[in-house]
Structure 1
Amino acid sequence: MSLTQQYLSKGKDIISTIEKQESTIQEVAKLFAQSILNGRMVHLFGSGHSRMMVEEMWPRYGSFPGFNPIVELSLSFHNLVVGANGQRQAMFLENVPGLASRILRNFDTSPQDTALIISSSGCNVVPIEMAEEFQKRNVKVVALVSSLHLEGSTSKKADGKKLIDFADYILDTGAPLGDAMLYIDGLDSPVAPGSTLGGVLIINSIKAEVANILHKNGKSPKVLSSGKIVGEQRAVDLFESAYDEHAHLMAKLYENVGPKKNIDDL
């Protein structure tokens, strides 16, 4: 069997793992849809390559407002690899205690909000503390992890807790321990990771279920769409209205940031 065939076979195994989680995916979609129906947002966070799952949810073709992508460049800016803004710094920073709380200090969250935290290992400090901080704010948390990788890894948080310890729902990408899925004869390190494949499948399954719930409840989503599908002017109108809706939702997250002050104190 060629390596391509092997990877596709592993991919089918991942699909099977995700199929078994359909009921959880639907429960998560209901949770997220309710936040959007309430005029609030679903917060998305992932450090490192988990950032890709954040941007897969929103904004891109086939997606719609209602999601707050929290992407910290210091934790996920990989393309320079070495030197300033390099990978070493990003990997160091994603295990700095207290950073998650500083990030969330920027947002006025509500218990009507929900959150999706993505971390393949579920063992790095910042994603764990992000989930912990959301739960302190009475925001329900969904964790997207690679269960086998999480189970075989040791938490880098001082108390030993992992991301799933601060999650109301857990979804599994189906990727193996170490993420990479293929072995080549004579090479001791496997290649070709699987967590992105599983993550994208889960993200878009959730997205489709949420869109369906919103539509059935009279809030048809403003979906970013190609002009080749809906016509050029309709596509422009959808992009503009979707971005405007996102701006209005984000504005709510900044309205009451910080401690309340009397007018006399200003």
Structure 2
Amino acid sequence: MTVIEQYLQKSRAILDVIEQQTEQLQQAAQWFAETIRAGRMVHVFGSGHSRIMVEEMWPRYGSFPGFNPIVELSLTFHNLVVGANGQRQAMFLENVPGLAERILRNYDLSDLDSALVISSSGCNVVPIEMAELFQQRRVKVVALITRNHAEQSTSKRADGKKLSDFADLVLDTGAPVGDAMITVPGLDTPVAPGSTVGGAVIVNCIKAEVARLLTQMGQPPVVLSAGAVVGAGRAVDLFERAYDEHAHRLAKLYAQVGQASYVSQGQKEE
């Protein structure tokens, strides 16, 4: 069997692991649909390469407003690799206690909100603290981890707690320990990770179920769609409507955040 065939075979096995979590996926989608129907946001966060799943959720074709992609460039900007804004700094920062609190200081959270926190290892400090802070604010947390890898990894947090310790629901990407899935003859380190495959499938399963639920509730989502599918005119209309709805939802997260001002109190400046 070639290494390409091996990777495809292992990817199919990941799909089997995800299929076994159908009930959990439906539960996550139910929480998210309730949040979106209430006019609030599902907060989606991941550091490192978990950012891929954040942006897979929204915004892109086949996606719809209701998700707040929390992407900190200091934790996810990887293309420079070394030098200023390099990977070493990002990996350092994702284990700095207190950073999650500073990030969430920007938002006025509600117990109507929900959250998806993504971390393959479930052991880095910032995602763990993010989930902990969400729970403290009565926001339901869905954690997306690689269960086998997380169980065999050591938390970077002083008390040893992991992301799964602060989750109302845990989903598994189905990837192996260490993530990389292929052993090449003559090479002593495996290559080709699988968590992104599993993570992207899980995110889109949830997205599809949320869309079904919202439509069933009488609130069909405004979906970003290609002109080749819906026609050029309607595609532009859907984009404008979806982005405007996102802005309106986001405004609620800022309107009453932090210390009160004459603006938040609805007063005019003299």
Name the TM-score, length of structure 1 as normaliser: 0.98
1:92-134 Cα shifts (integer Å, max 9, x gaps): 0000000000000000010000000000000000000000010
1:211-222 matches, within 5 Å, as 211-222=211-222
Q: Percent identity?
A: 69
Counterpart-to-counterpart distance in 1, 2:246 and 2:228: 24
Partner SS for 1:115: strand
Whole-Å separation in 2 of the counterparts to 1:15 and 1:79: 29
Q: 1:229 is matched with which residue?
A: 229
**Structure 2 SS opposite 1:90:** helix
3-state SS in 1 of match to 2:50: helix
Q: Deviations over 1:73-106 (max 9, x none)?
A: 0000000000000000000000000000000000
Cα deviations by residue, 1:35-83 (Å, 9 ceiling, x for unpaired): 0011111000000000000000000000000000000000000000000
Match of 2:65 in 1: 65
Aligned AA for 2:43?
H
Q: Partner of 2:175: helix, strand, or coil?
A: coil
Amino acid in structure 2 at the alignment position of 1:71:
V
Alpha-carbon shift at residue 261 of structure 1 (Å): 6.1
1:39 aligned partner, one-letter code: G
- Give 1:31 shift: 0.4
Which deviates more from structure 2 when the two are superposed, residues 127-136 or residues 254-263? Answer: 254-263
Q: Specify the alignment match of 2:147 in structure 1.
A: 147
SS at match of 1:219: coil
Equivalent residue for 1:136? 136
Residue 250 of structure 1 is matched in structure 2 by: 250
SS in 1 for 2:256: coil
Question: Which secondary structure state, in structure 2, belongs to the residue aligned with residue 252 of structure 1?
Answer: helix
Q: Distance in 1 between matches of 2:74 and 2:120?
A: 18
After superposition, the C-alpha distances for 1:11-55 in whole angstroms (9 at most, x for unaligned) are 111000000000100011000000001111100000000000000
- The residue matched to 2:85 in structure 1 has which SS? coil
**What is the distance in 2 between the residues matched to 1:184 and 1:29?**
38
Q: How does 1:85-164 map to 2 (within 5 A)?
A: 85-164=85-164
**Which residue identity does 1:83 align to in structure 2?**
G
1:178 aligns with 2:178: yes
Code of the residue aligned with 2:53 in structure 1: it is M
Give the distance between the partners of 1:157 and 1:171, measured in 2 at CA. Answer: 21
SS of the residue 1:253 aligns to: helix
**RMSD, aligned α-carbons:** 1.2
Specify the SS of the correspondent of 1:43: strand
Query: What residue in structure 2 maps to residue 166 of structure 1?
Result: 166
| Amino acid paired to 1:222 | V
AA paired with 1:234? R
The answer to whether 1:9 aligns with 2:32 is: no
- Equivalent residue for 1:44? 44
C-alpha distance in 1, partners of 2:233/2:221?
17
Structure 2 distance, partners of 1:237, 1:216, is 23
- Give the whole-Å Cα distance in 1 for the aligned partners of 2:55 and 2:261: 36
Q: How many pairs are equivalent?
A: 265
Supply the distance in 2 between the matched residues of 1:97 and 1:90 (Cα, whole angstroms): 14
Q: Secondary structure at the match of 1:80?
A: coil
**Offset, 1:260:** 3.9
Name the aligned partner's letter for residue 133 of structure 2: E
Equivalent AA in structure 2 for residue 144 of structure 1? L
Secondary structure of the residue aligned to 2:254 is coil
CA separation in 1, counterparts of 2:112 and 2:250?
14
Q: What does residue range 182-201 of structure 1 map to in structure 2 within 5 Å?
A: 182-201=182-201
- Amino acid of the structure 2 residue aligned with 1:112: L
Note the C-alpha offset of 1:7: 0.2
